[in-house]
Every structure is written in C-alpha cells, then in structure tokens.
Amino acid sequence: MSNTQKMDLTVGQPFYCLLKFAIPIIIGNLFQLFYTLADSVIVGKTLGTNALAAVGSTSIIIYFVFCFINGLTGGFGICLGQRCGAKDETGMRKSITSATVLSIAFSILLTAVCCLLSHQLISLMQIPQDIAKEAYDYMFVVLLGTGATIFYNTISNILRALGDSRTPLYFLVFSSILNIILDLVFILSFHMGVAGAAWATILSQFISAALSLLVGLKKYPVLHIQLQDFQHLKESLLLHLKTGFQMGFQMSVMCIGQLAMQAVVNSIGTDAVAGYTAASKADQVSVLVNNAMMTAISNYVAQNFGAGKWDRIRQGVRASLIQTEGLNVLMCVGILLLRHPIVRLFLSDPTSEIYRYSDLYLTIVAPCYFLLGLLAVYRTTVQSMGNGRAPFLACIIELIMRLAATLGLSSVLGYLSVCIASPLAWLGACSLLIVCYYRMIRRAPLPSVEKAPMFQLRKQQTS
C-alpha cells in the first residue's frame, strides 16, 4: 500500500486534489478526439471517399460496443476505488482479480457474439452495396480486437482507481501516435485498405495496454495478484458484475437515443445532415471534457466512500461542480464564437442552409452544457456511493426523453426536435439524480463516525 499513498484521494484539499487528478484525463480525452479526426483524414485522403464512408457507416455499431466496454470497466474501477479508500489491501487484490476474471470472460463473449453477427449487422444498417465489403472488413477486424479494447480500458481504470491518472494519459498519447504511424504503414506500405486502419487501432491499444500493465506492476505491488486471491471470489465477482454491467448497459442505451436523432436528421435532407454532423463534432469536445470530470469525481468519491469520509464527498462534489461548470461556460462561449470556423473545418464550401442547421443546433445545445455538467457529477457520485438503481432509472428517463423529443415531436418541430432532445434528456435525468444525491447525503453517518467500516456505511446508504 505504501506506493499508493502518494496517489491517495482521501487526503488533501478536495478542490486541488480533484483538479490535479482531472487535468491529465481532460488532456487525454482531447488528444484522443484530435487523433480520431486525424485518423479519418488519413483514411479519406489515402483511400478515398468510399473508404471513409465505409468506416463511418459502421461507427454507431462500434461506438455501441465500446460504450458498453467503457461502462463495464468503469464499474470495476468504482469497486476497486472503494476498497482503495478503505485501505483494504486484501479487498483491493480481490477486486483486481475479479476485474481480471470478468474482463477475460467478457472479451471471449463479446468477441464471439460480435464477430458471428457481423454480416447481419451490416444488413441491418442497410449499408449501400458499393461500400458494404469495406465496411464489413473494417468492422469485423475492430470487433475481433474487442479483447484488446477491454484489456486497455481495464488496466486504465484500475490505475485511475488507485489514484493514478498520469500513467493512462502517457500511454493514451503513445497509443494515439502509434495508431497514426501504423495507419500509414498498413495502408500505404502494406496496402491493407480499411482493414489496415482497423488493425492499427487494435494493435496500438493492445501494445499500450501491455506497457501500462508493466508500468503498473512496477509501481503498485497490489497488482501482483496471487493464487490465493482467486479463492472465495464469488461475492466479489457478483458485486463487480452488477456494478460493471449496470454502467455498461447505461452507456450503451445512450446510443439508441443518438441513433434516433440521426435518423430524424437523415430524413430532412443532405444540408441538415452536413450541418448536424459538423455541429456534433464541436459538441464532442464538451462531452469529452464532462466525461473526464466524471472519471475524476468517480474515483474521488469511490475512495472517500470506502474510507467513510462523507464530509470530503460533500466538499468534492461542490468542487467538481465549480470546475465542471466553469469549463462548460468556457466551452459554450468558445463554440458559439467559433461555430462558423468549426463548420469550415469539416466542409470546404458550406452553404447558408448548412450554416443555418449547424447554428440552430449549437445555439440551443451549447448554453445547456451546464445540465450535462450536473448530470455527469451527480450520476457518477451516486453510482460511486454504491447506488446503481438511481443512475439506471435516470438512464431510462434520459432515453425516453430523447426518443419522445425526436420521434414524438419531429412531425411538428422538424429539425428543432433534434436540437432540444439532448437538453430535455439531461434535465429529466438530473431531476432524479440530484434529489437522490441529497437524500443519500442527509442519511449519511455523522462526522464523528466517519471512519466506520465500509460494510457499516453500506447499511446507511439507500437506493
């Protein structure tokens, strides 16, 4: 445990503790976004429009699977963070062992299911025949590498749960650079086409995950799991499965709402699709920053919940809200001021109609980023305090609101229904989670018994 103390999130001033932990995650997420854009440019410039369309046509399927993996492994991180905060080294080893076993099991299961259903998924998405083969080649290879994605996300979330957000950043940067290099090698030198881009993605993830593991094993002795750690593992496996699966399901369900929004936009016309796509790219910056703050508060609350430090949870949530909403204000102002240059970044000659669709989306959604910030902080906080039911219900509310806006109001409001869908979904989810958080905090143990064992704290928190 001595090596993990310097990364302890249960001590120090909460505001600076959170900020120091969050900054590497924000940088990493933004770097990943810029890499994704560069990856698209490489495919489009070297292989042509059809290749880029083939890759893009399968993005929602791949995004759906990756969302589940991110949520699943994030849930494992919450379980580990609680034990880390409680300074329970035996529990930490059990948690790491459980995460390892479940990661292997889900790697086998998801890889088998996704690869076997690849042809059916291509047909279901109604991908045009002229790009269907390339779309299949790209998607099949990426899904074949599901194990590498789970490996990468599992080790990253384990390190963050131990309080280390820098090591995942370093290897995320390394993975992104390696991916671009392998893209060029596989596409230009080996002439592997879109499959080369897919192989570049999974190989860079696997190599980065392996190097992250080696560094983690050197820095943190608790990662050296032994044979006895696999004994009496049933209860720990069930807890990790419950937490991880709930979060994975929540993340995946969000894709359904986004798919409905895209369908409505597609039905309006080409200009609407172009304007919405450009605006959505700008929107991703806010989503990634809020996700970074969500990761930071998740690990912070998990550790302090495990330590029984409820006052620090209150202080941390307030600090996280200030930081998150401050960043959201800056992003809102920046995006609104740069909304036309953003469109020109993706389109060489945008029409006035494209500008109109992009402007309408951004001027409605950007000022509502504060709702996304509230959702990110409160949902993750409640989840990290051991309550999985409320975030799950909030996810269902979010889905219903998004579908109601897009499918229910599209015949009346048209494109405007897409613009208001996300703010309404965020508002609906927040209305439940904020109430739930303050109910849990009011029923928390008094400061005089903050150091009660974690199993006693679990009896205090409510669903």
Q: What is the pLDDT of residues 264-300, one digit of tens each?
A: 877 777 788 778 877 887 788 888 899 899 999 999 9
- Residue 226 CA, chain-centre distance (Å), reads 31
C-alpha 463/C-alpha 461 separation (Å) is 7
- Residue 189 CA, chain-centre distance (Å), reads 33
Q: Provide the residue type at 424 as one letter.
A: L
First to last CA, the chain: 32
Segment 64-72 shows an average pLDDT of 92
pLDDT of residue 283: 83
Residues of the chain with pLDDT > 70, as a percent, come to: 93
pLDDT of residue 348: 64
Q: Pick the residue with more confidence: 96 or 350?
A: 96
Q: What is the pLDDT of residues 195-250, one digit of tens each?
A: 999 999 999 999 999 999 999 999 999 999 998 999 989 999 999 999 999 889 88
Of 161, 171, 167, nearest to 222 (Cα)?
Answer: 161
The phi, psi pair for 404, rounded to 5°, reads: -60, -40
pLDDT of residue 445: 72
Token pair in block for residue 71: 């949520």
Residues of the chain with pLDDT > 90, as a percent, come to: 58
Q: Is the pLDDT score of 5 beyond 70?
A: no
Q: What is the pLDDT of residues 245-262, one digit of tens each?
A: 988 988 887 777 877 787
pLDDT of residue 171: 93
pTM (2 decimals)? 0.83
What's the angle, vertex CA 163, arms to CA 158 and CA 164, rounded to 5? 75
Token pair in block for residue 51: 């290749």
pLDDT bucket at 311, cuts 50 / 70 / 90: very high
DSSP 113-152: HHHHTHHHHHHHTT--HHHHHHHHHHHHHHHHTHHHHHHH
Of 33, 36, 39, 76, nearest to 287 (Cα)?
Answer: 33
Q: Is the pLDDT score of 96 beyond 50?
A: yes
C-alpha 57/C-alpha 51 separation (Å) is 10
pLDDT of residue 347: 64
Segment 141-167 shows an average pLDDT of 95
Token pair in block for residue 234: 């049933």
C-alpha 227/C-alpha 429 separation (Å) is 43
10 Å Cβ neighbour count for 49? 9
Q: Pick the residue with more confidence: 177 or 50?
A: 177
Q: Is the dihedral of CA 38, 262, 324, 335 positive or negative?
A: positive
C-alpha 392/C-alpha 390 separation (Å) is 5
Q: Is the pLDDT score of 449 beyond 60?
A: no
C-alpha 229/C-alpha 231 separation (Å) is 5
10 Å Cβ neighbour count for 128? 11
pLDDT bucket at 406, cuts 50 / 70 / 90: confident
Q: Is the pLDDT score of 448 beyond 80?
A: no
Mean pLDDT, the chain, as a whole number? Answer: 87
